[in-house]
Amino acid sequence: MNLDRWRTRSPLLADLADDHVAFLASVAVEEVLPPDETVFKVNSPADRFYLVDSGGIALRIAGPSKPPITIQTVGEGALLGLSWRLPPYRWQWTAQTLTDTTLIRFDANTVLSACEADPTFDNALLRVVARESSQRLQNVRLQLLDMYGRQRP
Amino acid sequence: MTLTAPTLHTGLDHPMMLRPFVVTERTRETDDTITLVLAAADGGDPLRFSPGQFTMMYVYGVGEVPLSISGDPARPEALVHTVRAVGAVTDAICDLLPHDTVGIRGPYGAHWPIAESTDRDIVVVAGGIGLAPVRPAIHHALEHRDEYASVSIVYGSRSPDDLLYTDDVRDWKARFDTNVQITVDRGDAGWLGDVGVVTPLLNRLAFVPENTTAIVCGPEIMMRVVAKDLVQRGVAADDIHVSLERNLKCGIGYCGHCQIGAAFVCKDGPVVPYARVAHRLGMEEL
């Protein structure tokens, strides 16, 4: 699969070496999903990850006796799925399509095998996952600030 | 250093002199925010302004506050203010009804450099009530759309119920020549749009960093995060403009209440290049 479109624009690929991108392109599989389709479910095995090619995904969590709420959405170019890289290798959220969505899927075992054989690839992917995790943590902190809420003096 | 005395004014040209304006329309935007349309009640000229400027509105017997002008600069006969009730004066403003009269001074302050940015990519990022001060710039950009390379608008809100100017936003989204991205911090069951902060939405905009003028308005922490992100993408800090909010009292640089460093927000701002304030925006004490 050709990933040139996302070579510089996706956080998954932007900082990877050309041969690493070529490897990911060789194992990438396109997945086309309708709206409201579950991509993965919380607590199930995180055995894959995705690049969002088009459309949008809601990351949801359900509280006790409450309907699920959307914590975050991810759109075109985003890396979907971080749990495949870190123990316990289970999804932390449920991911659901918001609209007609095309995903580029990568099998975690295939990529992890390549990482074992090539420590520079392993290191590069770990940096991608760490940076994305850090960025999402910062974003959630900003959301928690309720910065757009009314602030009486 | 030479100190010069302020110009002395007498009569109606005094910068502290109020003009009476009458409320002609009142629209509820959200549960705590309203938009007022006002007209000059003294038969004088309409209040011409540049996008980003503010007025001082005096509610007789209550007090005076600075308010960004949120109307269309091409239609100065309608003075538009969007106000959130956050204190005694703004509570009183939100209680105003058509035919009520207030006192207005201004317009004051620096403006968004929208008219000066022809042939450039325009990126507007607004958060919460921060959409009100940038709406005049959006009006100008869309009414002169052919003069700009691209126009993108990113708007972040607390929840779907807190979105301002929903009719305007719908119109902007319906245009084929404008990229509009909206996100909320908390969605609800009926919300099918984005949830999260505004910065990831910048990935969806097409702009040439070195040819971009960015207009950023919202809570200070949001402006700081957005400006840093834009700088990382290659936009020059001088081409990113933010709007500061401080305790404004006189509006004309007399009282010093709004001082930030060596500058007065009322006179040297509220719109300033990010490059001028980047080192101060992260200071908790300021």
Contact assignment for B225 to A142 by CB distance below 8 Å: yes
Domain segments of chain B as ranges: 11-108
Closest partner residue to A153 (CB to CB) among B85, B87, B185 is: B87
- Interface check for A51 against chain B (CB to CB < 8 A): the answer is no
Its domain, for residue A90, covers 4-144
The C-alpha atoms of residue B110 and residue B53 are separated, in whole angstroms, by: 6
Pair of tokens at residue A128? 């991608």
- Interface check for A38 against chain B (CB to CB < 8 A): the answer is no
Residue A26 lies in a domain: yes
Contact assignment for A139 to B197 by CB distance below 8 Å: yes
- Interface check for A152 against chain B (CB to CB < 8 A): the answer is yes
Could you give the C-alpha distances from B230 to A133, B31, B200, in angstroms and in order?
A: 20, 33, 11
The ipTM assigned to this model is 0.85
What's B11-108's CATH class?
A: mainly beta
Q: What is the DSSP letter of B87?
A: S
Please give the pLDDT value at position B6. Answer: 59
Please give the pLDDT value at position B1. Answer: 53
The C-alpha atoms of residue B169 and residue B124 are separated, in whole angstroms, by: 13
Please give the pLDDT value at position B284. Answer: 64
The closest of A3, A51, A44 to A25, measured between CA atoms, is: A3
pLDDT tens digits, chain B, 286 residues: what are they? 555 665 555 555 677 889 999 999 999 999 999 999 999 998 888 999 999 999 999 999 999 999 999 999 999 999 999 999 999 999 999 999 999 999 999 899 889 999 999 999 999 999 999 999 999 999 999 999 999 999 999 999 999 999 999 999 999 999 999 999 999 998 887 888 999 999 999 988 999 999 999 999 999 899 999 999 999 999 999 999 999 877 777 777 777 777 877 778 777 778 889 998 888 777 765 5
Q: What total of structural domains would you count in chain A?
A: 1
What does pTM read for this prediction? Answer: 0.88
Amino acid at B273: P
> B32 vs chain A: nearest CA distance in angstroms?
8
Amino acid at B196: G
Q: Which positions of chain A have pLDDT values less than 50? A: none
Please give the pLDDT value at position A2. Answer: 85
SS3 of chain B: helix, strand, coil, percent, to 5:
25, 30, 40
Q: What is the CATH number of the domain that holds A61?
A: 2.60.120.10
Residue A152 lies in a domain: no
Pick from A70, A141, A144 the residue to mutate for testing the B interface (most B CBs within 10 Å).
A70
